[in-house]
Protein backbone atom coordinates (compact mmCIF):
# COMPACT_ATOMS: atom_id res chain seq x y z
CA UNK A 1 0.00 0.00 0.00
CA UNK A 2 1.31 3.42 -0.87
CA UNK A 3 2.17 5.69 2.02
CA UNK A 4 -0.12 8.56 2.89
CA UNK A 5 2.57 10.99 1.75
CA UNK A 6 2.93 9.30 -1.61
CA UNK A 7 -0.84 9.41 -2.08
CA UNK A 8 -0.88 13.12 -1.21
CA UNK A 9 1.83 13.76 -3.77
CA UNK A 10 -0.09 11.91 -6.44
CA UNK A 11 -3.31 13.73 -5.52
CA UNK A 12 -1.55 17.07 -5.95
CA UNK A 13 -0.37 16.03 -9.39
CA UNK A 14 -3.91 15.01 -10.34
CA UNK A 15 -5.16 18.55 -9.69
CA UNK A 16 -3.88 19.46 -13.13
CA UNK A 17 -6.84 18.47 -15.32
CA UNK A 18 -6.65 18.77 -19.06
CA UNK A 19 -10.34 18.58 -19.91
CA UNK A 20 -11.57 21.67 -18.04
CA UNK A 21 -8.64 24.07 -18.23
CA UNK A 22 -8.23 27.07 -20.51
CA UNK A 23 -6.23 27.06 -23.72
CA UNK A 24 -5.52 30.73 -24.26
CA UNK A 25 -2.14 32.39 -23.93
CA UNK A 26 -1.78 36.17 -23.65
CA UNK A 27 -1.56 38.18 -26.84
CA UNK A 28 1.76 40.08 -26.77
CA UNK A 29 0.54 43.24 -28.48
CA UNK A 30 -2.26 43.52 -25.90
CA UNK A 31 0.32 43.73 -23.12
CA UNK A 32 3.11 45.76 -24.68
CA UNK A 33 1.46 49.18 -24.17
CA UNK A 34 1.09 48.27 -20.50
CA UNK A 35 4.55 46.96 -19.63
CA UNK A 36 5.07 50.08 -17.54
CA UNK A 37 2.15 48.87 -15.39
CA UNK A 38 3.10 45.18 -15.37
CA UNK A 39 5.28 42.98 -13.15
CA UNK A 40 6.69 39.89 -14.88
CA UNK A 41 7.27 36.93 -12.56
CA UNK A 42 8.89 33.81 -14.01
CA UNK A 43 9.67 30.35 -12.72
CA UNK A 44 12.93 28.94 -14.09
CA UNK A 45 13.11 25.14 -14.47
CA UNK A 46 10.46 23.83 -16.83
CA UNK A 47 9.25 27.38 -17.55
CA UNK A 48 12.14 29.48 -18.87
CA UNK A 49 14.60 26.61 -19.19
CA UNK A 50 14.09 23.10 -20.49
CA UNK A 51 14.27 20.35 -17.88
CA UNK A 52 17.42 18.25 -17.91
CA UNK A 53 18.36 14.88 -16.32
CA UNK A 54 20.08 16.71 -13.46
CA UNK A 55 19.69 20.25 -12.06
CA UNK A 56 23.28 21.12 -12.96
CA UNK A 57 22.75 20.37 -16.65
CA UNK A 58 20.28 23.18 -17.36
CA UNK A 59 21.50 25.90 -19.68
CA UNK A 60 20.32 29.30 -20.84
CA UNK A 61 19.47 29.30 -24.56
CA UNK A 62 20.92 32.03 -26.77
CA UNK A 63 18.95 35.25 -26.60
CA UNK A 64 17.07 34.56 -23.36
CA UNK A 65 19.28 36.63 -21.09
CA UNK A 66 19.10 39.53 -23.52
CA UNK A 67 15.31 39.26 -23.59
CA UNK A 68 15.17 39.29 -19.78
CA UNK A 69 17.48 42.30 -19.61
CA UNK A 70 15.35 44.27 -22.08
CA UNK A 71 12.12 43.33 -20.28
CA UNK A 72 13.69 44.46 -17.01
CA UNK A 73 14.38 47.83 -18.64
CA UNK A 74 10.91 48.08 -20.20
CA UNK A 75 9.25 47.34 -16.84
CA UNK A 76 11.57 49.69 -14.92
CA UNK A 77 12.98 46.72 -13.04
CA UNK A 78 9.71 44.90 -12.30
CA UNK A 79 10.88 41.49 -13.50
CA UNK A 80 11.68 38.74 -11.01
CA UNK A 81 12.60 35.08 -11.18
CA UNK A 82 10.52 32.94 -8.80
CA UNK A 83 12.23 29.63 -8.16
CA UNK A 84 12.88 26.79 -5.79
CA UNK A 85 16.57 27.26 -6.51
CA UNK A 86 18.75 29.32 -4.18
CA UNK A 87 19.85 32.82 -5.12
CA UNK A 88 23.39 31.56 -5.51
CA UNK A 89 22.25 28.82 -7.88
CA UNK A 90 20.18 31.27 -9.94
CA UNK A 91 23.14 33.60 -10.29
CA UNK A 92 25.41 30.77 -11.43
CA UNK A 93 22.93 29.77 -14.13
CA UNK A 94 22.39 33.29 -15.51
CA UNK A 95 25.92 34.64 -14.92
CA UNK A 96 27.05 37.29 -15.53
CA UNK A 97 23.49 38.67 -15.39
CA UNK A 98 21.82 39.25 -12.03
CA UNK A 99 18.04 39.49 -11.70
CA UNK A 100 15.62 40.30 -8.91
CA UNK A 101 14.29 37.07 -7.48
CA UNK A 102 12.19 35.14 -5.01
CA UNK A 103 14.34 32.07 -4.38
CA UNK A 104 14.24 28.86 -2.37
CA UNK A 105 10.42 28.61 -2.52
CA UNK A 106 10.16 31.98 -0.77
CA UNK A 107 13.08 31.47 1.64
CA UNK A 108 15.18 34.19 -0.01
CA UNK A 109 14.42 37.44 -1.78
CA UNK A 110 16.44 39.96 -3.74
CA UNK A 111 14.83 43.32 -4.48
CA UNK A 112 17.92 44.99 -5.89
CA UNK A 113 20.40 43.55 -8.37
CA UNK A 114 23.13 45.19 -6.29
CA UNK A 115 22.41 42.99 -3.25
CA UNK A 116 23.05 39.32 -2.59
CA UNK A 117 19.79 39.06 -0.62
CA UNK A 118 17.36 41.54 0.92
CA UNK A 119 15.53 39.01 3.08
CA UNK A 120 16.01 35.44 4.29
CA UNK A 121 12.90 33.93 5.85
CA UNK A 122 14.03 30.42 6.65
CA UNK A 123 16.33 28.91 9.26
CA UNK A 124 18.52 26.00 8.14
CA UNK A 125 17.08 22.51 8.44
CA UNK A 126 17.96 20.66 11.63
CA UNK A 127 21.27 18.87 11.08
CA UNK A 128 20.07 15.50 12.36
CA UNK A 129 16.90 15.70 10.27
CA UNK A 130 18.96 16.61 7.23
CA UNK A 131 21.30 13.68 7.86
CA UNK A 132 18.38 11.24 7.99
CA UNK A 133 16.78 12.66 4.88
CA UNK A 134 20.09 12.64 3.01
CA UNK A 135 20.44 8.91 3.67
CA UNK A 136 17.38 8.33 1.46
CA UNK A 137 19.60 9.01 -1.56
CA UNK A 138 21.25 5.65 -0.90
CA UNK A 139 18.04 3.81 -1.77
CA UNK A 140 18.99 3.66 -5.45
CA UNK A 141 21.72 4.74 -7.84
CA UNK A 142 20.56 7.80 -9.74
CA UNK A 143 18.96 9.59 -6.79
CA UNK A 144 20.71 12.95 -6.57
CA UNK A 145 20.89 14.93 -3.34
CA UNK A 146 20.73 18.74 -3.34
CA UNK A 147 21.35 20.57 -0.07
CA UNK A 148 20.07 24.16 -0.10
CA UNK A 149 20.60 24.74 3.61
CA UNK A 150 16.97 25.59 4.39
CA UNK A 151 15.76 22.63 2.35
CA UNK A 152 16.92 19.33 0.95
CA UNK A 153 15.87 17.96 -2.45
CA UNK A 154 15.96 14.38 -3.68
CA UNK A 155 16.04 14.31 -7.49
CA UNK A 156 15.08 10.99 -9.08
CA UNK A 157 14.77 11.77 -12.79
CA UNK A 158 17.57 9.23 -13.32
CA UNK A 159 15.82 6.73 -11.04
CA UNK A 160 12.06 7.12 -11.61
CA UNK A 161 11.41 3.64 -10.21
CA UNK A 162 12.48 4.94 -6.78
CA UNK A 163 9.63 7.46 -6.42
CA UNK A 164 7.46 5.31 -4.16
CA UNK A 165 10.39 4.27 -1.96
CA UNK A 166 11.52 7.89 -1.56
CA UNK A 167 8.13 9.16 -0.44
CA UNK A 168 7.62 6.20 1.87
CA UNK A 169 11.01 6.86 3.49
CA UNK A 170 10.19 10.54 3.95
CA UNK A 171 6.80 9.62 5.39
CA UNK A 172 8.45 7.27 7.88
CA UNK A 173 10.81 9.99 9.07
CA UNK A 174 7.97 12.48 9.43
CA UNK A 175 5.95 9.95 11.44
CA UNK A 176 8.84 9.64 13.86
CA UNK A 177 9.15 13.43 14.13
CA UNK A 178 5.52 14.64 14.12
CA UNK A 179 6.40 17.99 15.65
CA UNK A 180 9.14 18.86 13.19
CA UNK A 181 8.12 22.08 11.36
CA UNK A 182 8.74 20.75 7.88
CA UNK A 183 6.81 20.51 4.62
CA UNK A 184 7.20 18.12 1.71
CA UNK A 185 7.05 19.54 -1.82
CA UNK A 186 6.46 17.01 -4.60
CA UNK A 187 7.69 18.13 -7.99
CA UNK A 188 8.73 16.80 -11.38
CA UNK A 189 10.96 13.89 -10.42
CA UNK A 190 11.95 15.64 -7.20
CA UNK A 191 10.89 15.41 -3.57
CA UNK A 192 11.92 18.47 -1.58
CA UNK A 193 11.72 18.84 2.18
CA UNK A 194 11.80 22.35 3.61
CA UNK A 195 10.96 24.26 6.75
CA UNK A 196 7.29 25.21 6.84
CA UNK A 197 5.98 28.75 6.97
CA UNK A 198 7.11 30.04 3.60
CA UNK A 199 6.16 29.30 -0.01
CA UNK A 200 6.58 30.85 -3.41
CA UNK A 201 3.25 32.57 -2.76
CA UNK A 202 4.38 34.19 0.51
CA UNK A 203 7.50 35.38 -1.29
CA UNK A 204 5.52 36.85 -4.19
CA UNK A 205 3.07 38.56 -1.83
CA UNK A 206 5.97 40.29 -0.08
CA UNK A 207 7.72 41.08 -3.36
CA UNK A 208 4.62 42.87 -4.63
CA UNK A 209 4.66 45.24 -1.64
CA UNK A 210 8.02 46.67 -2.70
CA UNK A 211 9.09 48.98 -5.49
CA UNK A 212 9.28 48.62 -8.43
CA UNK A 213 6.61 45.88 -8.19
CA UNK A 214 4.17 47.69 -5.92
CA UNK A 215 0.93 48.73 -7.62
CA UNK A 216 1.64 46.79 -10.82
CA UNK A 217 -0.38 43.98 -12.35
CA UNK A 218 1.62 40.74 -12.01
CA UNK A 219 1.90 38.11 -14.72
CA UNK A 220 3.21 34.82 -13.37
CA UNK A 221 4.31 31.86 -15.50
CA UNK A 222 5.16 28.52 -13.87
CA UNK A 223 5.00 24.82 -14.51
CA UNK A 224 5.19 22.71 -11.36
CA UNK A 225 3.08 21.81 -8.33
CA UNK A 226 4.99 24.33 -6.22
CA UNK A 227 3.87 27.09 -8.60
CA UNK A 228 0.21 26.42 -7.80
CA UNK A 229 0.45 28.52 -4.65
CA UNK A 230 1.28 31.52 -6.85
CA UNK A 231 -1.40 30.66 -9.40
CA UNK A 232 -3.90 30.78 -6.53
CA UNK A 233 -3.06 34.32 -5.38
CA UNK A 234 -2.96 36.02 -8.78
CA UNK A 235 -6.69 36.92 -8.71
CA UNK A 236 -6.11 38.73 -5.38
CA UNK A 237 -3.69 41.05 -7.20
CA UNK A 238 -5.69 41.38 -10.41
CA UNK A 239 -2.89 39.31 -11.92
CA UNK A 240 -2.66 36.69 -14.64
CA UNK A 241 -1.31 33.16 -14.27
CA UNK A 242 -0.11 30.83 -17.03
CA UNK A 243 1.07 27.25 -16.72
CA UNK A 244 3.61 25.45 -18.87
CA UNK A 245 3.47 21.89 -20.16
CA UNK A 246 0.05 21.22 -18.69
CA UNK A 247 -3.20 23.09 -18.39
CA UNK A 248 -3.44 23.87 -14.69
CA UNK A 249 -6.74 24.64 -13.05
CA UNK A 250 -7.25 28.24 -12.03
CA UNK A 251 -4.89 29.76 -14.59
CA UNK A 252 -5.67 32.09 -17.47
CA UNK A 253 -4.02 29.89 -20.08
CA UNK A 254 -1.03 27.74 -20.80
CA UNK A 255 2.09 27.29 -22.90
CA UNK A 256 3.07 23.92 -24.30
CA UNK A 257 6.79 24.16 -23.58
CA UNK A 258 9.53 26.51 -22.28
CA UNK A 259 10.43 27.36 -25.87
CA UNK A 260 6.94 28.86 -26.26
CA UNK A 261 7.44 30.94 -23.12
CA UNK A 262 10.77 32.25 -24.43
CA UNK A 263 9.18 33.13 -27.77
CA UNK A 264 6.31 34.91 -26.02
CA UNK A 265 8.68 36.97 -23.89
CA UNK A 266 10.67 37.97 -26.96
CA UNK A 267 7.46 39.03 -28.74
CA UNK A 268 6.57 41.27 -25.79
CA UNK A 269 9.49 43.43 -26.89
CA UNK A 270 8.51 43.39 -30.55
CA UNK A 271 4.90 42.22 -31.04
CA UNK A 272 4.72 43.10 -34.74
Beta strands in the chain (DSSP E): 38-42, 79-82, 100-103, 108-110, 119-120, 144-147, 151-155, 182-187, 190-195, 217-222, 240-244, 253-255
Query: Of 11, 19, 23, 43, which is the active-site residue?
Result: 43
Handedness of CA 165, 46, 111, 218 (dihedral sign): negative
Mean pLDDT over the full length of the chain? 87
Count of beta carbons in the 10 Å neighbourhood of residue 61: 13
Tally of structural domains, the chain = 2
| Whole-number pLDDT of residue 98 | 96
40/170 same-domain check:
no
Residues 37 and 49 in one domain: yes
Reference 120, options 102, 143, 93, 98; nearest CA is 102
Mean pLDDT value across residues 152-158: 95
Q: Are 115 and 202 in a shared domain? A: yes
95: domain CATH number is: 3.40.50.1000
- 13 domain-assigned: no
Report pLDDT for 118. 72
| pLDDT value at residue 115 | 76
Q: Which domain holds residue 40?
A: 33-121+198-269
Do residue 106 and residue 39 come from a single domain?
A: yes
Report pLDDT for 250: 85
89 part of the active site:
no
Check residue 159 and give its pLDDT.
96
Q: Provide the pLDDT for residue 178.
A: 85
CA distances from 200 to 4, 112, 145 (A): 24, 18, 21
Given a cut of 80, whether residue 121 has pLDDT beyond it is no
**pLDDT (0 to 100) of residue 271:** 65
What's the whole-number mean pLDDT along residues 74-100? 96
Same-domain check for residues 108 and 204: yes
Using alpha carbons only, what angle is made at residue 184 by residues 181 and 103, rounded to the nearest 5 degrees?
A: 90
Is 11 within a domain?
no
**What pLDDT score was predicted for residue 180?**
85
Q: State the average pLDDT over residues 172-198.
A: 90
Q: How far is 37 from 183, CA to CA, in rounded Å?
A: 35
Residue 165 belongs to some domain of the structure: yes
User: Alpha-carbon distance 119 to 110, whole Å?
Assistant: 7
- Give dist(CA 163, CA 203) in Å, integer: 28
Tell me, yes or no, whether 202 and 213 share the same domain.
yes
What integer pLDDT is reported at residue 32 of this predicted model? Answer: 66
Mean per-residue pLDDT, 238-257:
91
Assigned domain for 72 exists: yes
pLDDT tens, position by position, 190-222: 999 998 889 999 999 999 999 999 999 999 999
Amino acid sequence: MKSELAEMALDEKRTMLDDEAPDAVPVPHALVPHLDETAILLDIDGTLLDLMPTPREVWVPPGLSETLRHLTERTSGALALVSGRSLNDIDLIFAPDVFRAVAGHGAEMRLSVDNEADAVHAPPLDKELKRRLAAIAKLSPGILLEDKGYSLALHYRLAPHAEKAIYEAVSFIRAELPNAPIEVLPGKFVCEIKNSGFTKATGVRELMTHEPFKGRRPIFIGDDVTDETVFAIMPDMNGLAFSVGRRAMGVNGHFDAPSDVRAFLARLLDPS
